[in-house]
Amino acid sequence: MRQHHFKRGGVARKSQFNKAGYGFSAPYYILFAVFILAPVVMAVALSFTNFNTIQAPKLVGFLNYINLITSDDVFMQYVLPNTVKYALIVGVGGYVLSFLLAWALANMTKVPRTIFALILYSPSMTTGVAMAVLWKIMFTGDQTGYLNSWLMDLGIINEPIIWLTNANYLLPIVIIIGLWSSMGVGFLSILAGLLNQDESLYEAAAIDGVKNRFQEMIYVTIPSMKPQMLFAAVMQIVGAFQNGQIASLLAGNPTPGYSAQLIVNHIEDYGFIRYEMGYAAAVSVVLLLIVQIFSKISQKLFGEREGR
């Protein structure tokens, strides 16, 4: 692409190889290596050891993984099924929902779109304290709780339900909260992608026989914004797993009857309550693998084929 003919050798050389690149990228990648890469590598290393934080780690081979699969009843009976259910509904469901909402907003005029987008995004800013306080009050277990009071008014229930200690309701509640806060960065990315579509694509598609908005969405819109769809998918997966922590904020760890115990809570339980760091690390590795699998699937769906 470069048509300029540079007279100064220095400039031409700089567009071939530029050492300054190392200087500019070093600060970020040093911190990245120490606080992101090293912990991941250490998690993998620790997962093959027995480590209680006081004595030095002892190598135990695959024992932690074997125990996880063969003798961790809580993991197999509750944590894994809960996590799969949560990931499917909040991850996949939330993703579809954010696409549909972004699409609807993109077809509205600017002012309502901006207001709606802000409201839909706002739960993503409600992390930690605000989130826990809000939902604790909503789901208060006696008749002063908002949900109980409304349901009793409507005559759906006669007696207040103790939501947060009831094993039947806790996981659905965590899933609802997960969905509520799933219009995050990915949602904004899809919305921006939709708003920057090439109009001529649509005219061409209409001539080629696209008959309605739905067909248009499937055959024109989605294929033309695959990169945004992929970015959004990755953000959705990570967000879903990260938000899983809400269960311990609402109901303590372990959650009553392990009813809403997700992998994230399981790691917390073994790492910071029982101090079985080696085992917790093995569970972390499993979580990282699950996230990888999900993102590989999204890459299959939305990745642009590269020349490799």
Partner 1 sequence: MAAYKGHRMNPDKFEKGQIKLYIFVIPLVLITGLPIIFILFHAFKPMEELFAFPPKFITTHPTLDNFRNLFKASRSAGIPLSKYVFNSLLITLVVVVSSIIISSGCAYALSKLKFRGRKTLFKINQLALMFVPVAVMIPRYLVVEKFGLVDTYWSQILPLIPLPVALFLLKQFIDEVPDELIEAAYMDGATELHIFAKIVIPLSRPALATAAILVFQQVWTNLEASNYYINDESLKTLAFYMNTLTGASSNTVSGQGIAAAASLLMFLPNLILFCILQRHVMNTMAHSGIK
CB of residue 253 to partner 1, shortest distance in Å: 12
- Spatial distance between the Cα atoms of 106 and 123, rounded to a whole number of angstroms: 20
Q: Using the rule CB under 8 A, which residue among 66, 69, 88, 119 binds partner 1? A: 119
Does the footprint of partner 1 cover residue 231 (CB under 8 A)? yes
Interface residue with partner 1, options 42, 66, 74, 88 (CB under 8 A): 42
Rounded-to-integer distance, Cα 302 and Cα 250, Å: 36
Which range binds partner 1 by CB under 8 A, 14-22, 65-73, 81-89, 164-172? 14-22
Q: Counting contacts by CB under 8 A, is residue 17 touching partner 1?
A: yes
β partners of residue 58 = 50
Interacting residues with partner 1 between 82 and 111 (CB under 8 A): 97, 100-101, 104-110
Assess 50 for contact with partner 1 (CB under 8 A): no
Nearer to partner 1 (CB atom), residue 170 or residue 286 = 286
Strand partners, 50: 58
Work out whether 255 is an interface residue with partner 1 (CB under 8 A). Answer: no
To the nearest whole angstrom, how small is the minimum distance from the Cβ of residue 91 to partner 1? 12
The footprint of partner 1 on this chain (CB under 8 A) covers a number of residues equal to 125
25 near partner 1, rule: CB under 8 A:
yes
For partner 1, the closer CB: 257 or 303: 303
- Which among 19-27, 69-77, 83-91, 159-167 is the span making contact with partner 1, rule CB under 8 A? 19-27
Q: Which of 60, 68, 237, 260 binds partner 1 (CB under 8 A)?
A: 237
Q: Between 76 and 133, whose beta carbon lies closer to partner 1? A: 133
- How far is 123 from 41, CA to CA, in rounded Å? 33
Does residue 29 touch partner 1 according to CB under 8 A?
Answer: yes
SS (H, E, C) the chain: CCCCCCCCHHHHHHCCCCCHHHHHHHHHHHHHHHHHHHHHHHHHHHCCEECCCCCCCEECCCHHHHHHHHCCHHHHHHHHHHHHHHHHHHHHHHHHHHHHHHHHHHCCCHHHHHHHHHHHHHHHHCCHHHHHHHHHHHCCCCCCCHHHHHHHHCCCCCCCCCHHHCHHHHHHHHHHHHHHCCCCHHHHHHHHHHHCCCHHHHHHHHHCCCCCHHHHHHHHHHHHCHHHHHHHHHHHHHHHHHHCCHHHHHHCCCCHHHCCCCHHHHHHHHHHHCCCHHHHHHHHHHHHHHHHHHHHHHHHHHCCCCCC
Tokens of 282: 């093995």
Q: Is 77 in the site for partner 1 (CB under 8 A)?
A: no
Closest contact distance (angstroms) between CB of 80 and partner 1 is 15
Least distance in angstroms from the C-beta of 259 to partner 1: 20
291 binds partner 1 (CB under 8 A): yes
Q: Between residue 149 and residue 208, which ones bind partner 1 under the rule CB under 8 A?
A: 149, 153, 180, 183, 185, 188-189, 191-197, 199, 202-203, 205-207
Selected binder of partner 1 within 65, 93, 121, 166 (CB under 8 A): 121
